[in-house]
Structure 1
Amino acid sequence: MTDQDAYEVLYRASYRRLVLVAFAFTDDLHAAETVVSKAFVEHYRARDGLTEGDLVRAVAGRARPTAEPEPLDEIHALLLALPRDQRSTLLLARLAGLAPEEIASIVDSPLETVDALIADAELTLAVRGTPPGDVVALRDRIYREAHRPDLAPLLLHHRQRAARRRVRIGAALAVLTVLAVVPALRPGDTGEDEYQARADSGPTTTTTTPYRPYYPRSRVFTAEFVDADHGFALRARCDATPRCSRTLLVTEDGEHWSARAVPSPSGLASDGQSATLHVLGPTRLVVGDVYLNRPDTIRYFSDDSGVSWHKVTMAVERIVTAIPPDALLEAGCGDVTRDARCEQRHVTVLLPETGTRAALANPPPLDQPAPETYPAPDGSWWVSGRQHGTGRWATAVSRDAGRTWQVAVLPEFSGVAYSPLRITAAHGVTYLTAVGARPDSRNGLLAVFRSDNGGRSWRRTWHAQQAGVTLPVLGYPIVAVDGSVTVTGSQSGDVYRSVDRGVSFNRVDSSQVRAPARPTRIGYVTTTTPSYRPRGSNVVRLSTDGLTWWDLIVRE
């Protein structure tokens, strides 16, 4: 993949979400589209190492309020009646899905101010009878209606404008530059794409480029395994439309896969990447949507490996005293009321027999708890969050299926960490990574912690402020059987390993680990993402020891 191909992937993957970010400031969809398109054009030369986080900051920095925005619908009209700072902050949270810590960094305000602005905005809307779901509906509408022009004509138009500017400076140099650009045009091309023509001069006749999906035509984007024989995967297939279809792939012998139809929970299957997959046993699974986490959100449950499906909601339906075998943990937002802010985040149990949620009779005693989905190999369940009263980062671990919990506070570290923290317990040791915004990376490693006593206490082994370097990190720490720990970044090749128990990290060969990994019931799993495509679009990588990885081809 060339640098331009990688930039095209980033453009297609991020465009609509960035439009939501820009809309939070412009209140106008057309203006938001213009801001995002210009940001991608202007950052093209600096595309090496560019992340979506960099573009989020760039878009937020250049977006300006529209003088007299026309409301898109009734809910948008109500939002326009809010004070601008309340409205922008609320939309960054509810439309763009940014965490309060990210918003605080973007608007350069204390976290407490951001929380207060969101709370005030939602209180005002609630008083006026506007449920949080209406804001979600506005987000869905903008996501659907955002017009994403082809990137190549945008870049070409930018080059032509730059060439015309150079004419004023030096005719000879400009002629050479224009001659280098013009041959790239096809017969009938104007050098201006549909989007730019609409922005500059109203309706015009343009050459329409057929839709070309930025992912491979068929791509596995998530996979889960129960054991060596039983596994499930979701595959996106992109043909001639921007909306990709999804298929469930099922294996019962670890080698041969069969395809099953899978419903789309919310209909937002744009590019086929919006589904979540929760496996609850050899034949049981739940398919949901990554965008929504409300009690009334619809998901689909199957107890026969996807042959048939049943609608379930994310509401907590009962209380359990212990986590059942094959169950999973999830973070729930609010209670049975519609608390879209997720101020009352709590731990829920996804039950294998029904695919519904339950609450624990004795939940982990943390504020804003974020559970790890699966138990560790030794059967322990881990949760990160904030200590009651102090607000400090802490962990809770249970070794009796959630009946009791042991809390340990983390040593202090610099920076604002994203929630959840990432915890991996394996081979007799537990590592935790805190990731947040750094000056040169949106997903910078802030600190690494190690526990040698099962989470009773933690030691900070690595600190970005002391190390003086930024390691871009996504995914979980990979704890290997030889005692090493590896973290992976947001780009292929960003692989860093520590052989001194997390004290120092050095870049290593990325031939084994090419994408952020996550621990599952059978070990570590990675799936192919746009930045990690050398091994193919239907390949899942597995490792049981954190050292040796093998490819599993997922196709029927």
Structure 2
Amino acid sequence: MSDPNFHGLRDEAARAAHADFDVVRRRARRLRSRRRAAAGGTALAVAVLLGVTGYAVTGGPPTNPPAVGDPVPAWPTVPAPVPSPERTSPVPTISGVPIAVPPRIRWAGAGDPRHLYAVVAACDTCPQKLMASEDGGTTWAERPDFPGRTWAHHETDISLSVYGAKNLVLNEPRRLTVGPDGKVQPPPPRKMQISTDGGVGWRSLTVNEQRMPSVPADGAVVQDRFGDNPAHGPIRVLDPASGTVGLLANQPPLRLLDLADVPASAGIWVQGFEPKTRKPAVAVSRDRGVTWAVSVFDAERSVSLPTDGTTPDIMARPNVATTDGTTAFAMFVGVPSDVRVYRSTDGGVGWQSVAAGVLGDTPLAGPESWVTADGSHVVSIQPNGAYTFAASRDGGGYEAMTPDGLPAVDRRPIVIDADHYLYRNTDHLYRSGDGRNWQAVAVPVG
């Protein structure tokens, strides 16, 4: 097992992928090219789309659920945060050129509606703190033994994953060094640490080849990006109790597979290609990876299935979104075809084509999408270069969607479940109970 790596939450990977998606759009007939401006985003996007960033993580069935008779409460109303004085001052410049201001909130994640986490720093060289909330963001506590506390912001981004209420995995950075001969030395083995108590304590995480029959109750499915097929490796299983990652015994019966980014309560959804027909397909497991139900998109074209890890057409694979595990959407952005959308109302068993070319010439910001509490399908678009959303209740007739209470966005939100959504910008978190109406939440920075 070479170079294991947990890549943080999938919303970060998706945001980075926007840059590389421009390459696809330049080849499309009706999707105009848009280049993201963030420095370094393209390199990361290429790594994400080619599957060389390590592990992609998604939850299995619900983990650390509330006790019987203890339903998850609605998020309470909290006072609106007061803007920091530093953010209201003029943007610093050098010779008239604005200087990028480092974000105070550098990462955020949610284990469930109660358990929220954020990595914050007061300045570019200040310690990076891991803050945790166990009441949905109303109060916060620092985790002083966070291993990433001393990492410099300009040296590495935080690579942190969270699933279940209190399970976090931290991927330590590997810095290249130059030897006496002036040559760059091979990077040291990658180290990962796991916390099973919400970031209070940490220990080493190991990877082995043990075959596991299912995902543990408090575990998660993990996609292996290395091995014989580095672009789309097998599904692995994280066991937080033992601090190990093993192989799922019964792999999804798909080729060039990829874990879909869905809430843990929706089950395990995998998108890829059916080996016999070589057509795009979706595999769903609702028993922690023991069995799989496969549905094939017969109306889509067959593709070649190379064995060297390369992908014939990354956009020929379905991009699936669901919140409740019942109503689901699958979006295709192929070349030379326009956007195609399919909708399922039975948990991915049957799919109906509901839209084709509905976005016209409006450029997509990426192939990923998400679903609001009312079942609307939301896609990321970039009209005039600005990142925003368009939504459709049934997959047809997409209209611009401006979330109420949410400032300018540059990524998709974290979908925790059908009643809880989370978004972050540089200074605040934002919570929503429906994906449309948002409330700012302050996180102590120090």
**Superposed pair shares fold, TM > 0.5:** yes
Q: Does 1:409 align with 2:312?
A: no
Question: What is the CA distance between 1:98 and its match in structure 2?
Answer: 6.3
- Structure 1: distance between partners of 2:323 and 2:278: 24
The reply on whether 1:429 has 2:379 as its aligned counterpart is no
Distance 1:523 1:349 in 2: 27
Classify 1:483/1:419 alpha carbon distance in 2 versus 1 (closer, same or farther; 3 Å): closer
Residue 449 of structure 1 and its aligned partner are, at CA, apart by 1.9
Query: Which of 124, 137, 140 lines up with 1:239 in the alignment?
Result: 124
Match of 2:163 among 279, 285, 289: 279
How far does residue 461 in structure 1 lie from its aligned partner after superposition? 2.2
Which of 479, 494, 501 is the matching residue for 2:371?
A: 479
Among 542, 546, 556, the alignment partner of 2:431 is 542
What is the match of residue 349 of structure 1?
237
- Give the alignment partner of residue 249 of structure 1, picking from 131, 134, 150: 131
Q: Which residue does 1:518 correspond to in 2? A: 414
Corresponding position of 2:397: 504
In 1: Cα distance, 2:173 partner to 2:301 partner: 30
Q: 2:101 corresponds to which residue?
A: 214
Q: What CA distance in whole angstroms lies between the structure 2 residues aligned with 1:223 and 1:381?
A: 19
Offset of 1:521 from its aligned partner? 4.7
Letter in 1 for 2:119: L
1:38-96 deviation per Cα after TM superposition (whole angstroms, max 9, x unaligned)? xxxxxxxxxx9642499999xxxxxxxxxxxxxxxxxxxxxxxxxxxxxxxxxx89x96
State the TM-score, normalizing by the size of structure 1: 0.53
Tell me whether 1:386 sits opposite 2:273 in the alignment. yes
- Write the letter of the residue equivalent to 2:416: T
- Name the SS for the 1:97 alignment partner: helix
Q: Which residue is 2:354 aligned to?
A: 461
* Deviations, residues 235-275 of structure 1 (Å, cap 9, x unaligned): 245335xxx74321111233211112422499685365341
Tell me: CA distance 1:521–1:419, structure 2 relative to 1, closer, same or farther (3 Å): same
Distance in 1, matches of 2:399 and 2:360, equals 13
Code of the residue aligned with 1:234 in structure 2: it is: V
The structure number with the bigger radius of gyration is: 1
1:397 is displaced (CA, Å) by 0.4
AA matched with 1:257: W
Deviations along 1:517-548, whole A, 9 cap, x unmatched?
2322575534334xxxxxxx332223343333
Q: 1:326 aligns with which of 195, 198, 218?
A: 218
TM-score norm. by structure 2 comes to 0.64
> Residue 448 of structure 1 contacts residue 460 of structure 1 at CA under 8 Å; is this kept in 2?
yes
Report if the CA contact (8 A) 1:386-1:392 is conserved: yes
Change (3 A) 1:376 1:227: same
Q: 1:428 to 1:333 in 2, by over 3 A?
A: closer
Over 3 Å counting, the alpha-carbon distance change for 1:547 and 1:326 in structure 2 is farther
- Give the direction of change, closer, same or farther, for the CA distance of 1:256–1:424 in structure 2 (3 Å limit): same
Q: C-alpha deviations, 1:494-533, integer Å up to 9, x for none?
A: 221113x00221113343554412322575534334xxxx
Q: Distance in 1 between matches of 2:405 and 2:386?
A: 11
Q: Displacement of 1:451 after TM fit?
A: 1.0
Match of 1:297 among 173, 176, 190: 190
The answer to whether structure 1 residue 365 and structure 2 residue 226 are counterparts is no
Query: Partners in 2 of 1:426 and 1:326 — Cα distance?
Result: 20
Q: Does 1:51 align with 2:36?
A: yes
Q: Secondary structure at the match of 1:322?
A: coil
| Per-residue deviation, residues 143-175 of structure 1 (Å, max 9, x unmatched) | xxxxxxxx977xx7xxxxxxxxxxxxxxxxxxx
Instruction: Determine which structure has greater relative contact order: mean sequence separation of CA pairs < 8 Å that are 6+ residues apart, divided by chain length.
Output: 2
Q: Could you say what secondary structure the match of 2:216 adopts?
A: coil
Report deviation, 1:363: 1.5
- The gaps in structure 2 that reach 5 residues or longer are 1-14, 21-32, 52-91, 176-186, 303-312
The size of the alignment, in residue pairs, is: 349
- Hey, what's the Cα distance between the residues in 2 that align with 1:301 and 1:433? 34
| 3-state DSSP of counterpart to 1:478 | strand
Instruction: Tell me if the contact between 1:407 and 1:456 (Cα under 8 Å) persists in the aligned partners.
Output: yes
Q: Which is worse superposed, 424-433 or 260-269?
A: 260-269
Aligned mates of 2:335, 2:173 — CA distance in 1? 22
- Per-residue deviation at 1:305? 2.6
RMSD across aligned C-alpha pairs, in angstroms? 4.4
> Which residue number corresponds to residue 227 of structure 1?
113
Note the C-alpha offset of 1:430.
0.9
| Structure 1 residues 302 and 380: alpha-carbon distance in aligned structure 2, compared to 1, 3 A threshold | closer
- SS of the residue aligned with 2:283? strand
- Alignment CA distance shift 1:55-1:362 (3 Å): closer
Structure 1 residue 345 displacement after superposition: 0.8
Matches of 1:358 and 1:247, distance apart in 2: 30
> Is the Cα–Cα contact under 8 Å of residues 213 and 239 in structure 1 kept in the other structure?
no
Specify whether residues 318 and 253 from structure 1 end up closer, same or farther in structure 2 by C-alpha distance, changes over 3 A only. same
- For residues 524 and 286 of structure 1, the distance between their equivalents in structure 2, rounded to whole angstroms, comes to 22
Query: Identity of aligned pairs, percent?
Result: 23
Cα separation, 2, equivalents of 1:319 and 1:492: 46
Unaligned runs of at least 5 residues, structure 1 = 1-12, 19-47, 58-91, 102-150, 157-183, 186-208, 440-444, 530-536
1:426 aligned counterpart, secondary structure:
coil
Partner of 2:47: 97
Shift of 1:366: 0.9
Correspondent of 1:258 among 120, 141, 146: 141
- Once residues 553 and 523 of structure 1 are traced to their aligned partners in structure 2, the CA distance between those partners, rounded to angstroms, is 20
Q: Is the 8 A contact 1:215 1:238 kept in 2?
A: yes
Query: Separation in 2 of the partners of 1:268 and 1:437?
Result: 41
Amino acid at match of 2:438: W
Output the amino acid matched with 1:278.
Answer: V
**Larger mean Cα displacement after TM superposition, 301-310 or 425-434:** 425-434
Letter in 2 for 1:226: D
> 1:405-443 deviations in whole A, cap 9, x for unaligned?
01112242797518782421427411123457899xxxx
Q: In the TM superposition, what is the alpha-carbon distance from 1:276 to its structure 2 partner?
A: 2.3
Measure the CA separation in 2 of the matches of 1:238 and 1:435. Answer: 40
Task: Decide whether the 8 Å contact of 1:486 with 1:496 is kept in 2.
Answer: yes
Q: How does 1:390-401 map to 2 (within 5 A)?
A: 390-401=277-288
